[in-house]
């Protein structure tokens, strides 16, 4: 079962790289903001899968909750900055 979780974590990591490409070379600012949110969500899932692999789910749930809060706040800050700048 650990190999299955590891394979899923590797696939999600590859998808994070694709989303990072969109965050850097996105055609619009909205695409970049959305891709940063998606990267945060996929990283959160990878952290939870690591908790399942290492059998330390309690520690990784706490870390992933903190990461989710920081990712959400970061996306809000980017959106507010671009609204004030007049891009959105």
Q: 24: how many CB neighbours lie within 10 A of its CB?
A: 9
CA torsion, ordered 64, 69, 72, 75, to nearest 10 deg: -100
Whether the model clears a pTM of 0.85, i.e. scores above it, the answer is no
Q: What is the pLDDT confidence band of residue 61, given thresholds at 50, 70 and 90?
A: very high
Q: How far apart are CA 66 and CA 76, in angstroms?
A: 16
Residue 64: DSSP 8-state: H
- What average pLDDT does the segment 6-34 reach? 89
């Amino acid at each position: 079962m650990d190999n299955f979780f590891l394979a899923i974590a590797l696939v999600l990591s590859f998808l994070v790289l694709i989303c990072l490409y969109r965050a850097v070379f996105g055609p619009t600012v909205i695409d970049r903001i959305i891709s940063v949110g998606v990267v945060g969500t996929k990283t959160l899932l990878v952290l939870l899968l690591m908790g399942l692999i290492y059998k330390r789910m309690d520690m990784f749930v706490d870390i992933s909750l903190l990461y989710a809060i920081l990712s959400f706040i970061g996306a809000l800050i980017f959106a507010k900055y671009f609204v004030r700048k007049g891009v959105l």
